[in-house]
């Protein structure tokens, strides 16, 4: 196995990632860190591990995303029969490399992807991350993705294991170099080729902390959200309405009870309990801790804001991530069209960048 870690200014997390990787057992593997023009201690940290090979991503071709360029550079140097693309902010459980390879082979999958356990700190991370991942779990069911008879295709670039044969057959990351959803594009290409993909929650194998500040969280989800859901503006209205109804019914129950209006207060309390119960039932599918799930109600309004912000950013063709701006020389239409079902033309009247629910795809 070749483990390929693209890294751009990852000094805050790279050491933990590499320490968890070099200690793996049960499989022959190499580790390649691709330094993507980092300006911090990323290169120095990677070189401090004797078992890690460090290469440079090289110049960024026009229209390519920075991550795709780094992944292509890593794949060119890789010698393994299987390629594991994993992000620098991941931490891998002992023995997980061997177990994931065995699982892929046991299931006959050419591509296996795990959605890591999400580590969250602070109010905003705990509030909004469960809401987003619960929505993803509701919309894109792993059972559909893993079913060869279903058109659903999904992958999480934080942990994407693919056979070298399948990777080369679909053109690798070169074939989707301009896409901002490269993991989704790769998964879809593999499934369309007739090969099997397998996708599941992988908290037993890997964990990650995606964002370490509110600014990172806002920038990252602005880049991703419009591509994840079929009607982002409609979803924003729906979740904001849900928030208002839950909070409003709770406030009404308290206010009416204080005025001794017993029957209306009971009705409002029952409505609040039903709505909040349905909300919690959805949130629990996101695999977050109890305290994050409890704060998730506050995340509904923030989720709506991020959805609207993402739509506006794509309409203005102005997306920023890790110090790079993806605008004029990047093909936004191609990036979003790759998330559509095969053979179905993109309807420009729909919300910008929205993939069809018939070809369920999602990415982080």
pLDDT one-digit tens code per residue, 71-97: 999 999 999 999 999 999 999 999 999
What predicted TM-score, i.e. pTM, was given to this entire model?
Answer: 0.84
**201 domain-assigned:** yes
Number of domains in the chain: 1
Percent of the chain exceeding pLDDT 90 equals: 70
**179 domain-assigned:** yes
Is residue 302 within 8 Å of 273, Cβ to Cβ?
Answer: no
**Axis crossing angle, helix 182-192 with helix 66-77, rounded to the nearest 10:** 60
Q: Which of the four pLDDT bands, split at 50, 70 and 90, describes residue 137?
A: confident
Compute the distance between CA of residue 356 and CA of residue 339 in angstroms, rounded to an integer. 8
Give the pLDDT mean for 44-50. Answer: 97
Q: Is 132 buried (19+), middle (13-18) or exposed (0-12) by CB count in 10 A? A: buried
Strands 319-321 vs 117-118: parallel, antiparallel or unpaired: unpaired
Taking residue 216's Cβ as centre, other Cβ atoms within 10 Å add up to 14
**193 domain-assigned:** yes
**Axis crossing angle, helix 232-258 with helix 290-315, rounded to the nearest 10:** 140
Alpha-carbon torsion angle 239, 244, 246, 248, nearest 10: -170
| Statement: residue 55 has pLDDT above 90 | yes
Q: For the domain that residue 21 is a member of, what is the CATH number?
A: 3.90.550.10
Q: Which is nearest to 156 in space by CA: 119, 105, 192, 207? A: 207
Give the pLDDT mean for 34-55. Answer: 96
* Cβ-proximal residues to 332 (8 Å cutoff; 6+ apart), any chain: 180, 314, 317, 326, 353
Give the pLDDT mean for 167-189. Answer: 92
Strands 30-35 vs 2-7: parallel, antiparallel or unpaired: parallel
Residue 78 belongs to what domain range?
A: 2-122+140-213
Distances in Å between the Cα of 73 and the Cα atoms of 5, 32, 35, 216 are: 11, 10, 10, 25
In the chain, the N- to C-terminal Cα span, in Å, equals 23
Give the pLDDT mean for 60-75. Answer: 93
Strands 206-208 vs 30-35: parallel, antiparallel or unpaired: unpaired
**70 domain-assigned:** yes
Is residue 320 within 8 Å of 326, Cβ to Cβ?
Answer: yes
**Axis crossing angle, helix 122-139 with helix 214-228, rounded to the nearest 10:** 10
Reading the block at residue 346, the tokens are: 């993109």
Length of the chain: 364
- Summarised one tens digit per residue, pLDDT across range 231-266 is 899 999 999 999 999 999 999 999 888 787 788 899
**363 domain-assigned:** no
Q: Which of the four pLDDT bands, split at 50, 70 and 90, describes residue 340?
A: very low
* Cβ-proximal residues to 145 (8 Å cutoff; 6+ apart), any chain: 152, 153, 154, 187, 197, 198, 199, 360
**φ and ψ of 234, to 5 deg:** -65, -40
Strands 30-35 vs 52-56: parallel, antiparallel or unpaired: parallel
**37 domain-assigned:** yes
**278 domain-assigned:** no
**φ and ψ of 120, to 5 deg:** -130, 145
Is residue 165 within 8 Å of 84, Cβ to Cβ?
Answer: no
**99 domain-assigned:** yes
Percent of the chain exceeding pLDDT 70 equals: 90
Compute the distance between CA of residue 96 and CA of residue 64 in angstroms, rounded to an integer. 31
Out of 18-27, 76-85, 173-182, which region has the weakest mean confidence (pLDDT)? Answer: 173-182
């Amino acid at each position: 196995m070749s483990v390929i870690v693209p890294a751009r200014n990852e000094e805050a997390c790279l050491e933990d990632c590499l320490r968890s990787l070099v200690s793996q057992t049960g499989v022959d593997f190499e580790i390649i860190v691709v330094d993507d023009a980092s300006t911090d201690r990323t290169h120095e940290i990677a070189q401090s591990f004797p078992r890690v090979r460090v290469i440079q991503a090289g110049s960024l071709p026009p229209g390519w995303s920075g991550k795709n360029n780094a992944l292509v550079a890593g794949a060119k140097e890789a010698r393994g029969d299987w390629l594991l693309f994993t992000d620098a902010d991941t931490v891998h459980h002992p023995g997980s490399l061997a177990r994931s390879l065995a699982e892929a082979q046991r299931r006959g999958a050419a591509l296996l992807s795990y959605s890591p356990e999400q580590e969250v700190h602070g109010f905003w991370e705990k509030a909004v991350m469960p809401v987003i991942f619960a929505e993803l779990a509701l919309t894109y069911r792993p059972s559909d993705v893993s079913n060869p008879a279903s058109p659903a295709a999904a992958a999480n670039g934080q942990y994407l294991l693919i056979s070298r044969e399948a990777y080369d057959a679909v053109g690798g990351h070169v074939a989707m170099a301009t896409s901002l959803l490269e993991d989704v594009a790769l998964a879809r290409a593999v499934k369309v080729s007739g090969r099997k993909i397998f996708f599941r929650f992988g908290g037993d194998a890997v964990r990650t902390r995606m964002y370490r500040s509110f600014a990172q969280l806002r920038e990252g989800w602005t880049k991703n959200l419009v591509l994840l859901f079929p009607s982002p503006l409609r979803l924003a209205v729906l979740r904001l309405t849900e928030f208002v109804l839950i909070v409003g019914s709770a406030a009404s129950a308290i206010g009416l009870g204080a005025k001794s209006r017993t029957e209306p207060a009971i009705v409002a309390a029952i409505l609040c309990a039903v709505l909040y119960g349905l909300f919690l039932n959805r949130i629990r599918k996101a695999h977050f801790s109890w305290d994050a799930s409890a704060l998730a109600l506050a995340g509904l309004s923030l989720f709506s804001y991020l959805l609207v912000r993402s739509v506006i950013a794509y309409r203005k063709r102005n997306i920023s991530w890790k110090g790079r701006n993806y605008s004029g020389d990047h093909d936004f239409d191609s990036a979003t069209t790759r998330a559509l079902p095969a053979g179905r033309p993109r309807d420009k009247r729909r919300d910008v960048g929205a993939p069809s629910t018939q070809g369920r795809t999602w990415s982080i």
